[in-house]
């Protein structure tokens, strides 16, 4: 047996609850679903009397503690189909610290916050605790709620795993697990996180799985984690509501400025019928640009996407729900499950890349029996994506005749400025043309500034010989130099003998005059034999074994010191130090060396 979309029922023992459901019988009310009087009072005070098809079929099965696979498009009341029976089940028992009794997983922060609002609305007559784990909120506040113990934990997969990895959360006490918008989880890459979270919960849990479509990956998950589920299918997957009028808008170019001009024309044409509207874009950057463009031309518009802060996103949604904001420019983060019942129009600035997203986008309008309109801008490059959308919904969408649409590409207001920059530059060659040109013309001479009247270059006067006391300047001219001016060059040094290597040889040469000066006849001291040293070993105290080991260690230290001395001896000596010892070195004077530095030392010095 296969469903209308061509997929097999999820699970080996999946049971179809009497086939796809189109509508709820007139005689069915919430009192017929097995809910308690307190819960019925909360539902009645919220303004609901008749359940939707998925609520009619899913709530009794959940109260029987059976796994449920719900397939329904957005806007069919899926949230209440699991929140109401969950409150009924949790009315008995108490929560433990850091061990929630039920867990609801949502793909986005907005959906999680919306489920939390429904739980507060329907559970006002029950003393149940709830915690919302989403990004953009302090860890400390969330941890404080978990420490007290919660009955219902509503979370996004990322923040839930953050708390678990910090050791602040235990999932071993989960009795009921709800995975909402499973196909959206797949699109956002949360399936590995979902698999990890499900494995952390007890095997005896009750699992509720809800999805608008049934791709093969979602079917594999249901076969893995659901046990003999009851399949509740409300409408054929990827089928738009019949209360929505769909239209296409032809745009001559995919240029962003041309598309923004067409969007403003469509919004202006529908302005008298718009109560509030959502404009969807494929990219987050386009969301900000489109919102600024609409605001620039006098439209009441604001952006919302995943890169904005959580407080800013929630404030924008609150203004849109209350009617303060008329146009909401959003990415697909707001396309799923947001409970905004009064949306009259939906505008698609781009044809969605995934055809399933089209159904969820336009599902924001025409809800609860209300009429809605949807417009989608189509460029020549969107033919492939448009064909996929029409095949999915099995409907050919007609083009709308709207006055004021651009018939050709709208020129950029800065294009003329860029084109005019090249004027007045000769032939106006680009950088690539200049790079290819190999011939060079004559080099232009730089203009020289005229010299002021009476200008003369400064003249250097020759150095004067400074008189030194006791020295006749006339004798300095005949004084020969004992060393060249370029004393820094070792090859031109003539005032010293060739350099010897090694310190011992230098020390021997320095001691040679002393040996020559000594009396050669007096050889008694040199040839006299040395007297033997007295043996004092008998006078010394007997050394212990520790003293012997210390002496051995000292010998090793002396041996290492000797190696260090040999290594230092073999190193080349500092040349500057040798020059200072051998004679003065004149640096940076050249031919203008002062006279008193070139003469010999004074005889009397």
- 181's CB contacts (< 8 A; 6+ apart) are 106, 107, 111, 210, 211, 212, 336, 337
pLDDT tens-digit series, residues 209-244: 998 778 888 999 999 999 999 999 886 655 677 889
pLDDT tens-digit series, residues 400-410: 999 999 989 88
Instruction: Take residue 504 and report the two structure tokens written for it.
Output: 């011992």
Q: Which of 28-37, 327-336, 523-532 has the weakest average pLDDT? A: 523-532
pLDDT for 325: 93
Q: Which of 65-74, 124-133, 286-295 has the weakest average pLDDT? A: 65-74
Ramachandran region, residue 238 (left: φ > 0; alpha: ψ -120 to 50; beta: rest): left
pLDDT tens-digit series, residues 174-197: 999 999 989 888 878 899 999 999
Query: What is the three-state SS of 216-252?
Result: HHHHHHHHHHCCCCEEEECCCCCCCCCCEEEEEEECC
Q: What is the CATH number of domain 15-233?
A: 3.40.50.300
pLDDT for 176: 96
Question: What superfamily in CATH does domain 244-393 come from?
Answer: P-loop containing nucleotide triphosphate hydrolases (3.40.50.300)
3 state DSSP class of 162 = helix
pLDDT for 428: 45
Q: Residue 278 is inside which H or E element, if any?
A: strand 277-280
Domain range summary for the chain, segments of one domain joined by +: 15-233, 244-393
The pTM score is 0.58
pLDDT for 29: 92
DSSP 90: H
Tokens 């996407």: give the residue.
305
Instruction: Take residue 354 and report the two structure tokens written for it.
Output: 């995934």
Mean pLDDT score of the chain, rounded to an integer? 77
Alpha carbons 63 and 87: distance in angstroms, whole number: 10
Alpha carbons 98 and 101: distance in angstroms, whole number: 10
3 state DSSP class of 98 = coil
Residue 486: which pLDDT band, with cuts at 50, 70 and 90? very low
Secondary structure (DSSP) of 245-271: EEEEEE-S---HHHHHHHHHHHHHHHT
Q: For 38-64, what is the mean pLDDT?
A: 93
pLDDT for 357: 82
What's the half-sphere exposure (Cβ side, CA atoms, 13 Å) at 418?
6
Residue 32: which pLDDT band, with cuts at 50, 70 and 90? very high
Give the pairing of strands 327-330 and 277-280: parallel
pLDDT at residue 542 is higher than 60: no
Residue 292 CA to its chain's centroid (Å): 25
- More reliable by pLDDT, 162 or 561: 162
pLDDT tens-digit series, residues 436-465: 444 556 666 676 667 677 766 666 666 665
pLDDT at residue 362 is higher than 80: yes
How buried is 229 (Cβ within 10 angstroms: 0-12 exposed, 13-18 middle, 19+ buried)? buried
Residue 142 CA to its chain's centroid (Å): 24
- What Cα–Cα distance (Å) separates residue 504 from each residue in 515, 558, 579? 16, 20, 19
Alpha carbons 188 and 195: distance in angstroms, whole number: 14
């Amino acid at each position: 047996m296969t469903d209308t979309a061509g997929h097999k029922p999820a699970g080996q023992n999946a049971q179809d609850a009497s086939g796809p459901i189109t509508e709820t019988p007139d005689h069915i009310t919430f009192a017929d679903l097995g809910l308690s009087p307190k819960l019925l009072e909360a539902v009645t005070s919220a303004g609901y009397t008749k359940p939707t098809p998925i609520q009619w079929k899913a709530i009794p099965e959940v109260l029987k503690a059976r796994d449920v696979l719900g397939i329904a498009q957005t806007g069919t009341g899926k949230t209440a189909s699991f929140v109401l029976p969950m409150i009924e089940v949790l009315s008995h028992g108490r929560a433990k610290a850091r061990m929630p009794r039920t867990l609801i997983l949502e793909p986005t922060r907005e959906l999680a916050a919306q489920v939390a609002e429904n739980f507060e609305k329907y559970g006002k007559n029950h003393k149940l605790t709830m915690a919302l784990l989403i990004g953009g909120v302090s860890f400390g506040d969330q941890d404080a709620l978990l420490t007290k113990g919660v009955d219902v934990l509503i979370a996004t997969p990322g923040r839930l795993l953050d708390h678990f990895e910090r050791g602040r959360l235990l999932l071993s006490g989960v009795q009921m697990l709800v995975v909402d918008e499973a196909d959206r989880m797949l699109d956002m890459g949360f399936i590995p996180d979902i698999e990890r979270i499900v494995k952390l919960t007890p095997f005896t849990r009750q699992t509720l799985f809800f999805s608008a479509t049934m791709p093969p990956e979602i079917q594999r998950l249901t076969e893995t984690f659901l046990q003999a589920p009851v399949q509740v299918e409300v409408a054929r997957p990827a089928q738009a509501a019949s209360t929505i009028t769909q239209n296409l808008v032809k745009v001559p170019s995919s240029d962003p400025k041309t598309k923004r001009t067409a969007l403003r024309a469509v919004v202006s044409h529908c302005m008298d019928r718009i109560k509030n509207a959502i404009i969807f874009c494929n990219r987050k950057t386009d969301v900000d640009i489109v919102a600024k463009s609409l605001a620039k031309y006098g439209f009441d518009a604001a952006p919302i996407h995943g890169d904005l802060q959580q407080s800013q996103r929630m404030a924008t949604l609150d203004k849109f729900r209350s009617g303060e904001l008329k146009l909401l420019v959003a990415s697909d983060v707001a396309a799923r499950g947001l409970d905004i019942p009064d949306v009259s129009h939906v505008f698609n600035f781009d044809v969605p890349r995934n055809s399933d997203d089209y159904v969820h986008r336009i599902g924001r309008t025409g809800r609860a029996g209300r009429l809605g309109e949807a417009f989608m801008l189509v460029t020549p490059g969107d033919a492939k994506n448009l064909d996929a959308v029409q095949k999915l919904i099995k409907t050919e969408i007609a083009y709308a005749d709207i006055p004021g649409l651009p018939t050709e590409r709208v020129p950029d207001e800065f294009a003329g400025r860029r084109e005019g920059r090249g004027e007045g530059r000769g032939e106006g060659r680009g950088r690539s043309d200049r790079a290819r040109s190999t011939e060079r013309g004559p080099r232009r001479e730089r203009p020289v500034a005229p010299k002021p009247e009476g200008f003369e270059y400064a003249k250097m006067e020759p150095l004067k010989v400074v008189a030194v006391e006791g020295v006749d300047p006339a004798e300095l001219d005949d004084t020969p130099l004992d060393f060249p001016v370029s004393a820094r060059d070792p090859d031109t040094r003539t005032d010293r003998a060739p350099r010897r290597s090694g310190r011992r040889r230098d020390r021997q040469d320095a001691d040679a005059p002393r040996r020559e000066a000594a009396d050669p006849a007096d050889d008694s001291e040199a040839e006299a034999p040395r007297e033997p040293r007295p043996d004092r070993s008998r006078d010394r105290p007997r050394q212990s074994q520790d003293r012997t080991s210390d002496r051995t260690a000292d010998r090793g230290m002396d041996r290492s010191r000797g190696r260090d001395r040999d290594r230092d001896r073999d190193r080349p000596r500092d040349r500057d130090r040798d020059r200072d010892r051998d004679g003065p070195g004149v640096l940076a004077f050249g031919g203008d060396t002062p006279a008193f530095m070139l003469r010999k030392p004074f005889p009397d010095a």
